[in-house]
Amino acid sequence: MTTLLLSLPVALPLLAALLAVAASRQAAGLAMATGFLVLGLSVWLAFEVAAAGPITIALGGWEAPLGIVLRADGLGAGFLVVSAMVMAVVLVAAQPSFEDQGQESRAGFAFWPLALLLFAGLNTAFLSRDLFNLFVALELLTLSAIALVAIEGKAGSVTAALRYMVFALLGSVLFLLGAALAYAAHATLDIGLLAQVELGWPMAAALALMTMGLAIKTALFPFHAWLPPAHAGAPAPASAMLSALVPKASFVILLRLWFDLAPELASPLLLAVLGGLGAVAVIHGSLLAIGQDRLKLIIAYSTVAQLGYLFLVFPLAGGAGGAQPWSAGAWTAASFHAFAHMLAKAAMFLAAGLFLRAVGHDRLEGLRGLARAMPIACFAFGLSAISLMGLPLSGGFTAKYLLLTSAFASGQWGWGLVLVAGGLLAAIYLFRPLNLMFSKEGAAASLTPVPRWEQVLPLLLALAAVLLGLFSAGPFAFLQIGRPGAAAEGLLP
């Protein structure tokens, strides 16, 4: 049973993608069914992990170092569940735009296999413990994502996709070099086995290369320039996947590298650099978001800022001084922040897509008075904004609260200031669209009507983001399952 539970979240999207290429008429139905099936399986897997602890399978019956190991711990299963929630909703939301009626169209053919392959790559990245296999998973994920950016077929989106590709391939090469070096040094690619051997200089170089590659793929400042045009230029369901899900895969691998594989190689300088770049991303991304006057660009720059918070986990959870009570809090907070961002950002992009369809463009002035015509979608946008700002009772709040507590408890006040400033700046850049949406005046004359059920989809995700904050005890405990020792004790001795 465990074999099926761990392999189906990867195998089902792969199979559905292949069938979608061969039988494109059934692609939309297949994809939606796969989304819900994988969601069900992931929840089931999470219950198994909660009951029995981390589950490990050796693919083909070959144990590491010969074979590839998949492992579901609290972190991996948690990301699996939340990304399946987002994916299930996004695939339904994509149906009106991409399901072909009658003759097959270019975008109607390409969207479904690409979305499903992105899903498969993502799930592999959350579960695999093999460095080369993780590289292949990232390739599948990134190449599908790049193609989705270009799927509108406009010159602007193709340019954004090409730019994304140049950055992403640079990241891939660096990660691959690191993986090759790790194998050359220790004759294994398995994270679990590498964690047990004594690591020397070659492994330090390997980790430096892999960290650089993953930082580029996670769009960490200063490697973020590709992200806003790519995420804003894609059609809304694709933007939701790209912004909410894709950068999380490389971030989870970064967590595994530093907290599982090589906590002993972390140095104060490394932690300060990663945290510092994250802090700059928070401030820089937020300031740029304030300056935008197109809704999708605001949301995309917000992603640059929100991804920055994730990197504060390195100084906060990894910081100096033996067993620290706040380390586990900060380590868990990073996952919480990622979950809240996945749900809220997907909701926001889906809502923005509906606004775009109703108004015909995504310049901010078009939002004036929209809440009267599209109350549900505007409410969804508002709820997800609450989580992104980190206001109380939302998932974003729980994450920021945990991060702030560990920043103050460990005496690292500077990071705390970044958290507070980031929240304020988020309130500023999200206030403009919200204020316009809920303004009393404004013409709602020539809007294209959007069916109510489509407006409910972003609301579901936004509600999940808020509920994550209301019921945070369960997920918090779940994330501790199989938690690496370094996440409780810090990275530095």
Partner 1 sequence: MIGTALDLVVVALLVAAALAAVGARGLFAGVVFFVGYGVFVAIAWLRLDAIDVALAEAAIGAGLTGVLLLGAVGHLTRAGAGAPPRRPAIPLALACAGISVMLGWAVLSLPDAPGLQAPVAAALPGSGSTNPVTSVLLNFRAFDTLLESIVLLAVLVGVWALAPDAAWGGRPGLVQRVRPDGVLAGFGRLLPPLGLLVGVYLVWAGTKQPGGAFQGGTVLAAVWLLASMAGVARAPRVTSLILRAALVAGPVLFLAVGMAGALGGSFLGLRPDWAAALVLTIEVGLTLSIASALALLVLGPPERPA
What are the distances in angstroms from CA 286 to CA 100, 152, 185, 228, 349? 38, 27, 42, 12, 17
Q: Could you tell me the smallest distance in angstroms from the CB atom of residue 156 to partner 1?
A: 14
Q: Of the ranges 45-53, 119-127, 394-402, 406-414, which one interacts with partner 1 (CB under 8 A)?
A: 119-127
Q: Does 139 bind partner 1 (CB under 8 A)?
A: yes
Q: Does 208 bind partner 1 (CB under 8 A)?
A: yes
Span 338-397, contacts to partner 1 by CB under 8 A = none
Q: Does 302 bind partner 1 (CB under 8 A)?
A: no
Q: Does 147 bind partner 1 (CB under 8 A)?
A: yes
Of 70, 90, 79, residue with least CA distance to 6: 70
Q: Does 107 bind partner 1 (CB under 8 A)?
A: yes
Coil/strand/helix, residue 218: coil
Of 41, 21, 42, residue with least CA distance to 31: 21
- Which lies closer to partner 1 via its Cβ, residue 3 or residue 196? 3
DSSP letter for each residue of 345-404? HHHHHHHHHHHHHHHSS-BGGGGTTHHHH-HHHHHHHHHHHHHHHT-TTSHHHHHHHHHH
- Which lies closer to partner 1 via its Cβ, residue 257 or residue 386? 257
Q: Does 144 bind partner 1 (CB under 8 A)?
A: yes
Q: Does 153 bind partner 1 (CB under 8 A)?
A: yes
Distance CA 112, CA 144 (A): 10
Q: Does 211 bind partner 1 (CB under 8 A)?
A: no
Q: Which of 30, 31, 45, 117 binds partner 1 (CB under 8 A)?
A: 117
Q: Does 114 bind partner 1 (CB under 8 A)?
A: yes
End-to-end CA distance of the chain: 40
Distance CA 8, CA 6 (A): 6
Q: Does 205 bind partner 1 (CB under 8 A)?
A: yes
What are the distances in angstroms from CA 78 to CA 51, 112, 236, 329? 14, 25, 25, 16
Q: Which of 53, 104, 156, 420 binds partner 1 (CB under 8 A)?
A: 104
Helices in 187-235 by DSSP H: which ranges? Answer: 191-196, 201-217, 227-233
Distance CA 93, CA 410 (A): 44
Q: Does 110 bind partner 1 (CB under 8 A)?
A: yes
- Residue 430: partners with Cβ closer than 8 Å, 6 or more residues away: 298, 302, 385, 388, 389
Residue type, 104: E
Q: Does 225 bind partner 1 (CB under 8 A)?
A: no
Q: Does 269 bind partner 1 (CB under 8 A)?
A: no
Q: Does 473 bind partner 1 (CB under 8 A)?
A: no
Q: Could you tell me the smallest distance in angstroms from the CB atom of residue 66 to partner 1?
A: 5
Q: Could you tell me the smallest distance in angstroms from the CB atom of residue 202 to partner 1?
A: 4
DSSP letter for each residue of 224-290? -TTHHHHHHHS-HHHHHHHHHTHHHHHHHHHHIIIIII-GGG--HHHHHHHHHHHHHHHHHHHHHHH
Contact 116, 84 (CB under 8 A): no
- Residue 278: partners with Cβ closer than 8 Å, 6 or more residues away: 220, 221, 307, 308, 309, 310, 311, 312, 314
Q: Give the binding-site size for partner 1 (rule: CB under 8 A).
A: 67
Q: Which of 32, 94, 181, 404 binds partner 1 (CB under 8 A)?
A: 181
Q: Does 4 bind partner 1 (CB under 8 A)?
A: yes
Q: Does 80 bind partner 1 (CB under 8 A)?
A: no
Q: Which of 174, 230, 252, 305 binds partner 1 (CB under 8 A)?
A: 174
- Which lies closer to partner 1 via its Cβ, residue 177 or residue 391? 177
Q: Does 239 bind partner 1 (CB under 8 A)?
A: no
Q: Does 18 bind partner 1 (CB under 8 A)?
A: yes
Q: Does 102 bind partner 1 (CB under 8 A)?
A: no
Span 49-68, contacts to partner 1 by CB under 8 A = 57-62, 65-68
Q: Could you tell me the smallest distance in angstroms from the CB atom of residue 226 to partner 1?
A: 16
- Residue 473: partners with Cβ closer than 8 Å, 6 or more residues away: none
Binding site for partner 1 (CB under 8 A): 3-4, 6-8, 11, 14-15, 17-19, 21-22, 24, 57-62, 65-68, 103-107, 109-110, 113-114, 117, 120-121, 124, 132-133, 136-137, 139-140, 143-144, 146-147, 150-151, 153, 158, 174, 177, 181, 184-188, 200-202, 204-206, 208-209
